[in-house]
Structure 1
Amino acid sequence: MKNRVTGIGGIFFKSEDPDAAKAWYKKHLGLDTDNYGCTFWWKDKKGNDCSTQWSPMDKETSYFEPSKNQFMMNFRVENLDELLKTLKAEGVTLVGEPESYDYGKFGWILDAEGNKIELWEPVDKVFLK
């Protein structure tokens, strides 16, 4: 595979009080927060609109499992299905089954230290409507 990861899709972390965290970052750092956190918009080298999500999540979320860590990274990828096949062949642990939504496809893996990593083949234009 030529390109595997094409950018950061998101940073997700557990928070004691996600609403207070979003308010603090909005007030002190100027993040344009909403119910999910903050979406950063940028252009890739081809000029395509792309997004990166920043989201504090409830400290009790099970979304990061089986990892016990307080964070999860999301990486943007070009071809999720092909990448998951390649990673599996390389001995990388896949977590769960891939899922598809109107805003993209998702798959999950564990890194060498057991951190859950989310892989996202995005459809950014859905967010621009």
Structure 2
Amino acid sequence: MKRVTGIGGIFFKSKDPKKITEWYQKHLGLNTNPYGAGFEWYEAPDSSKKAQTQWTPFPETTKYFEPSKQDFMINYRVENLEALVEELKKEGVTIVDNIETYDYGKFVHILDGEGNKVELWEAVD
């Protein structure tokens, strides 16, 4: 079973998410949107299958990264999230919440070996 297939997103805390997003747009040319910026790419071996990596600044007061104490969180793209969660449970990995489903995919949060919150995403591209 495949586990992680790519980086789904990079999220970090910012004093002013709107301002930092504008900075990245102006100075580094990111094609921004209300959620940050998306980077499209194509999955191998099927080079016709489009995918996306999300870049998003969060308010520095966000509780979204808790229980981790870090100022960032990485989102990993996965296949078959339900099966992966069952395997991770068997391996003793801490599952933070229940799988949630949205029109753009399924999500769940886990803690890595150092207590960093990690987001797992089965995307609907």
TM-score (norm 2): 0.96
**Structure 2: runs of 5+ lacking an equivalent:** none
DSSP 3-state at the match of 1:24 = helix
- SS of equivalent residue, structure 2 residue 51: strand
Q: Distance in 2 between matches of 1:113 and 1:70?
A: 14
Q: Aligned residue for 2:121?
A: 120
Correspondence list, 1:1-129, <5 A: 2-45=1-44, 46=46, 47-124=48-125
Q: Which amino acid aligns with 1:16?
A: K
Alpha-carbon distance between aligned partners in 1 of 2:34 and 2:15, rounded to the nearest angstrom: 16
Shift of 1:34: 1.3
Q: CA RMSD in A?
A: 0.6
Runs of 4+ in 1 over 2 A off after TM superposition: none
Give the C-alpha shift of residue 22 in structure 1.
0.3
Secondary structure in structure 1 of the residue aligned to 2:98: strand
Question: 5+ residue gaps in structure 1?
Answer: 125-129
For residues 22 and 65 of structure 2, the distance between their equivalents in structure 1, rounded to whole angstroms, comes to 23
TM-score (norm 1): 0.94
Tell me the distance in 2 between the aligned counterparts of 1:96 and 1:43. Answer: 30
SS of equivalent to 1:96: coil
Count of aligned positions = 123
How many Å separate the matches in 2 of 1:34 and 1:79?
A: 28
Shift of 1:101: 0.5
User: Hey, what's the Cα distance between the residues in 2 that align with 1:35 and 1:101?
Assistant: 18
Once the two structures are TM-superposed, the CA of residue 54 in structure 1 deviates from its matched residue by 0.1
Q: Which amino acid aligns with 1:40?
A: F
Deviation at 1:60, TM superposition (A): 0.7
1:43 shift after superposition: 0.4
Instruction: Tell me the equivalent position of 1:127.
Output: none
Partner of 1:94, secondary structure, is coil
